[in-house]
Amino acid sequence: MEQLTKVGTTQRTKQLTVAKRSIWHEIVKQKYAHLFVLTGMLIVFVFHYLPMFGILMAFKNYSITTGISGIFTSEWVGLKYFDEFVHAYNFKLIVTNTLAISLLKLVFTFPMPILLAIMFNEVRHQFFKRFAQTVSYFPHFISWIVVSGLLVVFLSTNSGIVNDLLKGLGIVKDSLPFLSSPDYFWGLAVTTAMWKEAGWWAIIFLAAISGLDPTLYDAAEMDGAGRLRRIWHITLPGIRGTIIVVLILAVGSMLGGGLVGSNFEQSYLLGNSINNERSEILQTYAFKMGLAQGRYAYATAIDLIQSVIAIILVFGSNYLSKKVTKNSLF
């Protein structure tokens, strides 16, 4: 019996040794692929995880003159900067602008890629379909700096094409102050973000639609289902999982702009002293406090508040999705 046990142990040891050798053989065989993944992981660690020790600045009386070591050696002040921001004179204005722009983008920009993907899927003319797709996602590759420059030219009150067109058609008598009036900023931010990113995100939903079984559409058509019914009963339920995952990610990054992720760029580039009451948000305020005034600890506290809210939104939306739809990100 003892001899049989030794034989079994020996065989298992040999099997484990062979398995380890095969694993190492595969790693060596795919060394370039593993090196590629390792490089990406290293970049994420260096630029995303390693700087996280700077969060300590939010709880310390940090000064830039103390350098990196000052993050650990500065005086601990606890929640001083959080309390200062909450009691700041413009706290309500900044939070209101951030939430308003973020919610408007979530409501209007999230459904648009889904609608675009469904429209592209229903187009039967392949040349027109490819052309429309290319035109729709091309703006994604244009930087917000270029876009803001174009908006300044097109929406100018003096010689802007848009105002000239509106006056030429008799829609308005005087030029509309799109860039100088706070009343237009939220609408401008939402529409330009939608134009720039809707086509790009439609690619994800279009890929999900292409994975659906085409026989389902054929069967529904034979049963007399029209195009709208096929979309409602086959397409939308078929991509529900993708919609839920993207929605959770959009809600989690809502304060940064959601899918379009452009709150800071738009508010910083298109905001000015005239429309400041609608364009000032958490990100731009933290940027100004940190770099313009050198209050790095205060700016870190503001950004940390936003990060904590984003984490709560991710876990909250994921929990609700799991309870209601049985689909979730994790």
Once rounded to an integer, what is the mean pLDDT over residues 121-148?
90
User: What percentage of the chain carries pLDDT values higher than 70?
Assistant: 93
pLDDT digits (tens, 9 = 90+) for 43-59: 999 998 888 888 999 99
d(CA 42, CA 26): 22
**Confidence band for 192, pLDDT divided at 50, 70 and 90:** very high
pLDDT higher than 90, residue 186: yes
Once rounded to an integer, what is the mean pLDDT over residues 125-146?
90
**Confidence band for 248, pLDDT divided at 50, 70 and 90:** confident
Tokens of 153: 């030219």
pLDDT higher than 70, residue 86: yes
pLDDT score of 145: 93
pLDDT higher than 50, residue 4: no
pLDDT digits (tens, 9 = 90+) for 270-313: 998 899 999 999 999 999 999 888 899 999 999 999 888 888 88
What is the reported pTM?
Answer: 0.83
Tokens of 326: 């049985």
pLDDT score of 328: 74
pLDDT score of 270: 92
Q: Output b/e per residue, 188-209; b: 16+ Cβ within 10 A.
A: bbbebbbebbbbbbbbbbbebb
Identity of the residue numbered 36: F
Tokens of 105: 């983008």
pLDDT higher than 60, residue 1: no
pLDDT score of 296: 92
Identity of the residue numbered 157: T
pLDDT higher than 70, residue 8: no
pLDDT higher than 50, residue 224: yes
The chain-wide mean pLDDT, for the chain, equals 87
Neighbours of 154 (CB within 10 A): 16
pLDDT digits (tens, 9 = 90+) for 9-43: 556 666 556 556 677 777 778 888 888 889 989 99
pLDDT score of 7: 47
Does 34 or 141 have the greater pLDDT score? 141
